[in-house]
Amino acid sequence: MVVFLVTLPVILFCVSLALGRYEISLVDVGRILLSPLQPDLVENIPETAQKLVLRIRIPRILAALLVGGGLGVTGAAFQGIFKNPLVDSNILGVTSGAGFGAALALLLIRPMWQVQLSAFLFGLLAVGLAFFGSRMYRSSPILVLTLMGILVGSLFNSLTSLLKYVADPLDTLPAITFWLLGSLTSITWEDIPMLAAVTVLGTAFLWVIRWRLNVLSLGDQEAKSLGMNPNRLKLGIIAASTLITAMAVSVAGVIGWVGLVIPHAGRILVGPDHKKLIPATISLGACFMLLIDDVSRSLLPGEVPIGVLTGILGVPLLIVLLRKNRTGW
């Protein structure tokens, strides 16, 4: 199983470089990848194909792997601390907040880097409002936090609808609508370093506390009996997961179902132990997103938004996974 989870993303990475409306053979892809070390390998390969692989497809595929892996592992973390298999990384409103932030920047006609920054900051703001709003109540903390997340998410969804209502229907509104559907079309090499840094660091934190996630999934009393502070630990998990999700949404738009479907698939393959589940969800999430992106840019002459495909494929896939895993966690 370990070999499968490690080699599958590598194989899909290589195959995805050859896929697209401009088809390139795997042999030529390999020669292009080795061209920085031996330039004469690409003498008979069109310059268009070289630029397509090195400047467009590689950063896009890397972004798909990072976004998918990040959303998959945050879904597993949230399902663990909320003890609910129907929870994903948007439970606290981060996606809704990021969507509003991007729509606001697009309405103000800002450059893409400012759109991404606005989406990232408003995603963090949404979770901050949900978390600190839940602190005002002394009842069940998880229940109140969930309710606050739903309320904050609904608020930002309504604000996004308001922005779409006042946007120019011939220019700004299509840009907002397309962004909210999710896409990796605009990814460049400049987007990769920050996306990789946030995703890798956040995932590393979740990996370090993997055994604590196992304890938290049993309940707060069990965690306290082992000398842990469950509230402080949950805050750290929420912070790391929020950073990963907000960064993913800021570069790829609103993409659903990954954080909900992938943890179920991971539990079927390796079980509920987060020591195995975290790396499994990283690999499966990365592969799922990469396959979705391959279909997106190869299925039709025009690109199909990723968020649309994840919804179309995610629903039947989740139904099948729930049936296979109906015995419980």
Tell me whether residue 240 is exposed, middle or buried, using C-beta atoms within 10 angstroms of its C-beta: 0 to 12, 13 to 18, 19 or more: buried
Q: Is 30 a member of any domain?
A: no
Rounded CA-CA distance 20/10 in Å is 18
The tally of domains found in the chain comes to 1
Residue 216 lies in a domain: yes
pLDDT at 106: 92
In a domain, 43, yes or no: no
Cβ–Cβ contacts within 10 Å for residue 301, how many? 5
Distances (CA, A) of 134 to 10, 128, 139, 140, 322: 42, 10, 9, 10, 31
Structure tokens at 118: 């606005």
Decide: 122 and 94 in contact? Cβ < 8 Å: no
Residue 124 belongs to domain with CATH number: 1.10.3470.10
Provide the pLDDT for residue 76: 93
Is residue 49 assigned to a domain? no
pLDDT at site 19: 87
What is the Cβ-side half-sphere exposure of residue 266, based on CA atoms within 13 angstroms? 35
Would you say 9 and 286 are in contact if contact means Cβ atoms under 8 Å apart? yes
Establish if 47 belongs to a structural domain. no
| pTM score of the predicted model | 0.92
Domain enclosing residue 93, as ranges: 68-324
* 38 inside domain: no
Picking from 13, 53, 63, the residue whose alpha carbon sits closest to that of residue 32 is 53
HEC profile of the chain:
CHHHHHHHHHHHHHHHHHCCCCCCCHHHHHHHHHCCCCHHHHCCCCHHHHHHHHHHHHHHHHHHHHHHHHHHHHHHHHHHHHCCCCCCCCCCCHHHHHHHHHHHHHHCCCCHHHHHHHHHHHHHHHHHHHHHHHCCCCCCHHHHHHHHHHHHHHHHHHHHHHHHHHCCCCCHHHHHHHHHHCCCCCCCHHHHHHHHHHHHHHHHHHHHCHHHHHHHCCCHHHHHHCCCCHHHHHHHHHHHHHHHHHHHHHHHCCCCCHHHHHHHHHHHHHCCCHHHHHHHHHHHHHHHHHHHHHHHHHCCCCCCCHHHHHHHHHHHHHHHHHHHCCCCC
Closest listed residue to residue 68, CA positions, set 281, 319, 317, 324: 281
- pLDDT, tens digit (0-9, with 9 covering 90-100), for 50-66: 889 999 999 999 999 99
Residue 24 lies in a domain: no
The pLDDT, as a whole number, for residue 132 is: 86
- State pLDDT tens for residues 63-117: 999 999 999 999 999 998 888 888 888 889 999 999 999 999 999 988 888 999 9
Quick one: pLDDT at residue 325?
Answer: 67
Q: Are 125 and 97 in contact (CB under 8 A)?
A: yes
Per-residue pLDDT of the chain (329 residues; tens, 9 = 90+): 778 888 999 999 999 999 888 888 888 888 888 888 888 888 788 888 888 999 999 999 999 999 999 999 999 999 988 888 888 888 899 999 999 999 999 999 888 889 999 999 999 999 999 988 888 876 667 788 888 999 999 999 999 999 999 998 888 999 899 999 999 988 999 999 999 999 999 999 999 999 888 888 877 788 788 778 888 898 899 999 999 999 999 999 999 889 999 999 999 999 889 999 999 999 999 999 999 999 998 887 778 899 889 988 888 888 888 777 655 45
How far is 209 from 305, CA to CA, in rounded Å? 35
| Residue 2 falls inside a structural domain | no
Positive/negative CA dihedral, 221, 227, 229, 234: negative
